[in-house]
Amino acid sequence: MSAAAGVSFLILSQVLTKAFTFGSNQVLVRNISPEVFGIASYLEFLVESVLFFSREAERNAIQRVAAQPAKARQIITNFAYVPLVLGVPVGLTTFLLQKSSAMYAETIAPLPFSGISIALSVFLIFLELIAEPLFALNQYLLNFKVRSKIESSAVFMRCFSTLAAVLASKRYYSGREFDGLAVASFALGQLVYSAATLIGYWILASYKVARAERVEEKDNLYWLEPATFSLWKSLFVQMIFKHLLTEGDHLVVSYLFDVAEQGVYSVIENYGSIVARLLFQPIEELLRMTFTRIFSKKDADVSASYKLMENLLVFYANLSLLLVLAGYTNGGFLLRLLLGRNEKWSASSVFDYFPQYVLYLPFLAFNGILEGFFSSASTQKQIGTFSVFMSVSSAAVLTLLYVLVEKFLWGLTGLIVANMVNMMLRIVYCFVFLVDFYKKNNVTTDLASIVNRLALPLLSVATTFGIQQKVFGQIQSRTFVDFVESAGLCFVSLLVILYGERKTLVSLLKKEKRAEGKIEKAERDGQMADEAEN
């Protein structure tokens, strides 16, 4: 499958699943309170933390396996069992640490049916880790079509089961008992997702390598390839600090805010990151895998990779400008429409904080693409240096977070600002690495060209903000008329950006057509060869 087709499948899958998730969330937020959302988000964070620490280093390390296909599959399979072994101590450590926390003692332990929620969470972690060997091999084969089918089906089943369980619980229970069952419903939905993923890969996968076996190389026999294992150890340390930096806000939220505020932050994060999950995540995953394979070759086409990075950086910048323009001005108004007239949500601060969260999205986007490049092009020593940098910066950012929230009383605004600082530190580090990498490979990084390409979009967006402030008297939309006027201005800015990038777009379209022509010619030649043999 081509890279473009892979991205298309992933993006289409994300669009369909997010549309369904979006619809089910609309029903959920109208039936449950911010407190329930906060507790469910907290449990989900714990599950994701266990899975992240167990398998993220493995997923990054196996991308660099460069053996022959048959041997590579066995190497990947062996490493894919590491998360299952690692998940036990990681899970126990996480549970023991959280059991002694105030959050657990005051909100989860007294909640009815909390034991069911915890049991479901443990079981879904087990299913996720069992599926890892099949997932890892599918990623190695770049079979995005199978992955898209499986994940789409699993998301549909998760949304349906969660929604059905919540509505059924509300019919027969009320008060605290309903709250407890609502939290358990979220865990049940995630369990259904994990089970569907495991079954889907087992049925649809074109391979059945499921056992860990020793790999023979010359006179050596090993379970884990030494070079990949050494890389895994470096990545595991890096992932600890990466998770603390990326998810440190959740840790602080759980200790410094009550469950209602945690529910507000969960809703802000879910709605605010829709575009990032729809578009940015598939591109980042494909970029990471593509660059890893390019740079692992001795005759890597480094100059071509820079042109790709330049276009992606400009694309991210343009899209980020549009996100800030449209999201900051209209985000609060749209969220009010989505959440309806639910008194519990109307009394919360979710509408005030949502536009602020939109400003954080560009930082999140650029960090993803630049860290993807770093993980693909860096050496083991550079990964170790980055781990040291992240350990220092994590301490600084978490300290800043505490000061902003506790001392300056900025609340969730402090979280958002600290997250921006967090991402900016990582962006600067990885961008400096990118420039230095291409300099060492004798490729000129034309930063002036990038700045020139962004001049017109920046001017357009700044002008639009000015028009909204001067002509309409406000930046953020308050009424439907404000929203329509703002949408019109955003559309004009989009046209200006497309006009500025017209040459690049035409060039890329022509290149795509040439690539399609080559593929069609190769297929015709193959058919003719088969006919000649017959």
Identify the band that residue 524 occupies on the pLDDT scale cut at 50, 70 and 90: low
Average of per-residue pLDDT values in the chain: 83
Nearest to 85 by CA among 212, 251, 239: 212
CB contact at 8 A, 158 and 225: no
DSSP state of 216: E
Length of the chain: 534
**Dihedral-angle region of residue 442 (phi above 0 means left; psi in -120 to 50 means alpha; beta otherwise):** left
Does 3 score more than 60 pLDDT?
no
CB contact at 8 A, 215 and 78: yes
Identify the band that residue 533 occupies on the pLDDT scale cut at 50, 70 and 90: low
Identify the band that residue 532 occupies on the pLDDT scale cut at 50, 70 and 90: low
Higher pLDDT, 523 or 139: 139
Specify the range with the lowest mean pLDDT, choosing from 15-29, 47-61, 77-91, 358-372. Answer: 15-29
Tokens 């860990």 sit on residue: 212
Does 231 score more than 50 pLDDT?
yes
Burial class (CB in 10 A: 0-12, 13-18, 19+), 452: exposed
Identify the band that residue 66 occupies on the pLDDT scale cut at 50, 70 and 90: low
Predicted local confidence at residue 137, as pLDDT = 85
Cα 140 to Cα 74: distance, rounded to the nearest angstrom: 11
DSSP state of 396: H
Specify the range with the lowest mean pLDDT, choosing from 170-179, 393-402, 466-475. Answer: 466-475
In the predicted model, what is the mean pLDDT of residues 224-235? Answer: 84
In the predicted model, what is the mean pLDDT of residues 209-233? Answer: 77
In the predicted model, what is the mean pLDDT of residues 300-319? Answer: 87
In the predicted model, what is the mean pLDDT of residues 198-207? Answer: 81
Predicted local confidence at residue 5, as pLDDT = 56
In the predicted model, what is the mean pLDDT of residues 282-288? Answer: 78
In the predicted model, what is the mean pLDDT of residues 293-315? Answer: 82
Specify the range with the lowest mean pLDDT, choosing from 75-79, 327-331, 447-451, 525-529. Answer: 525-529
Predicted local confidence at residue 266, as pLDDT = 81
The one-letter amino acid code at 453 reads R
Predicted local confidence at residue 519, as pLDDT = 44
The residues, any chain, with a CB within 8 Å of residue 467's CB and separated by 6 or more, are 489
For 245-274, how does the pLDDT look when each residue is reduced to its tens digit (9 = 90+)?
666 666 667 777 777 787 888 888 888 877
The three state secondary structure string of 350-389 is: HHHHHHHHHHHHHHHHHHHHHHHHHHHHCCHHHHHHHHHH
Identify the band that residue 90 occupies on the pLDDT scale cut at 50, 70 and 90: very high
Q: Coil, strand or helix: which one is 225?
A: coil
Predicted local confidence at residue 523, as pLDDT = 46
Rg over alpha carbons for the chain, rounded to the nearest Å, is 24
Cα 96 to Cα 100: distance, rounded to the nearest angstrom: 7
Strands 215-217 and 220-222: antiparallel
In the predicted model, what is the mean pLDDT of residues 12-24? Answer: 72
List the structure tokens of 204. 């649809």
Q: How many Cβ atoms are within 10 Å of 462's Cβ, its own excluded?
A: 13
- Sign for the pseudo-dihedral over CA of 249, 184, 192, 194: positive
Cα 270 to Cα 244: distance, rounded to the nearest angstrom: 20
Predicted local confidence at residue 341, as pLDDT = 66
Higher pLDDT, 312 or 13: 312
Does 183 score more than 90 pLDDT?
yes
Tokens 């991205």 sit on residue: 7
Burial class (CB in 10 A: 0-12, 13-18, 19+), 245: buried
Predicted local confidence at residue 522, as pLDDT = 47
Tokens 């600082």 sit on residue: 421
CB contact at 8 A, 512 and 4: yes
Nearest to 372 by CA among 283, 453, 447: 283
Element (H, E) at 234: helix 226-256
Q: Coil, strand or helix: which one is 220?
A: strand
CB contact at 8 A, 95 and 88: no
For 340-369, how does the pLDDT look when each residue is reduced to its tens digit (9 = 90+)?
666 667 777 788 899 999 999 999 999 999
Does 238 score more than 60 pLDDT?
yes
* Total-model pTM: 0.74
Beta bridge partners of 221: 216
Nearest to 316 by CA among 464, 139, 501: 501
In the predicted model, what is the mean pLDDT of residues 317-321? Answer: 92
For 112-169, how does the pLDDT look when each residue is reduced to its tens digit (9 = 90+)?
999 999 999 999 999 999 999 998 888 887 777 788 888 889 988 999 999 999 999 9
The residues, any chain, with a CB within 8 Å of residue 268's CB and separated by 6 or more, are 350, 353, 354, 357, 412
Predicted local confidence at residue 246, as pLDDT = 66
Does 8 score more than 70 pLDDT?
no
In the predicted model, what is the mean pLDDT of residues 184-188? Answer: 96
Question: Backbone phi, then psi, for 477, in 5-degree steps?
Answer: -70, 135
Specify the range with the lowest mean pLDDT, choosing from 8-12, 182-186, 350-354, 390-394. Answer: 8-12
Predicted local confidence at residue 158, as pLDDT = 93
Alpha helices in 100-225 (DSSP H): 102-103, 114-130, 132-140, 144-172, 175-204
Identify the band that residue 105 occupies on the pLDDT scale cut at 50, 70 and 90: confident
